[in-house]
Amino acid sequence: MEIKMMRLEELLGYKFSNISLLELALRHRSVGSENNERLEFLGDSVLSFIVSRKLFLEGLKDDEATLTRKRSVLTDRTTLRKVAERLGLKELVMVGDSLQGRTSQKMLADVVEAIIGAVYLDGGVEGAERVISKILFEGDLAAEALERQDWISMVKEWSDQQRVQYRYVTFEEDAEDGKYFQAWLTVGDLTETGTGGTKKEAMASAAKKMMAKLSP
């Protein structure tokens, strides 16, 4: 476990002074009273603040609505689940016997927030900002998240402009390697489908296909 924790610190780009904070961040509430819920509560606020500040400073031409939309998609469960996957948290999170080793997308997203809370307690705003910049903004994850939201927004804007009704219907499906989602998008008389690891991913997939029809 010690080697895995060192690897996690490497992926975070942060070395804990108090490693017990990181260990606590990985403990799901099913383990017992010593769990990560309070760290998750703290990390959620820290993440929102740091992302808000970054967007405010870098998006000088963005209005309030645009900044809010970007922050929402950068901190939602879909994005945090992808962060969790890149950090290998599924193999590190500790769960109680009642869950029989099962982890959900929400659980993994919550662990990411708990880790951010742990980093904040250990290293303050500077440490948390460094970690969030590395796990969220380095590479293509943030760009992918914003693009995902853009497709959904584009369908809404087109439908509003044309005064055409649109509707998403999502289904959760089982697969050998876990669950996935399927989305059906109807715009007027047109229908497209998409799949993804979360509802938003499936909706974005369907929206991207739909926009190819609406704006060829």
Active-site residue set: 44, 113
In the block, tokens 């992918």 appear at 144
What are the structure tokens assigned to 62, written together? Answer: 């963005």
How would you classify residue 124: left for phi > 0, otherwise alpha for psi between -120 and 50, otherwise beta? Answer: left
Q: How far apart are CA 149 and CA 207, in angstroms?
A: 10
Measure the CA angle with vertex 43, ends 11 and 35; round to 5°: 90
Q: Among 114, 142, 146, 104, which residue's Cα sits nearest to residue 21? A: 114
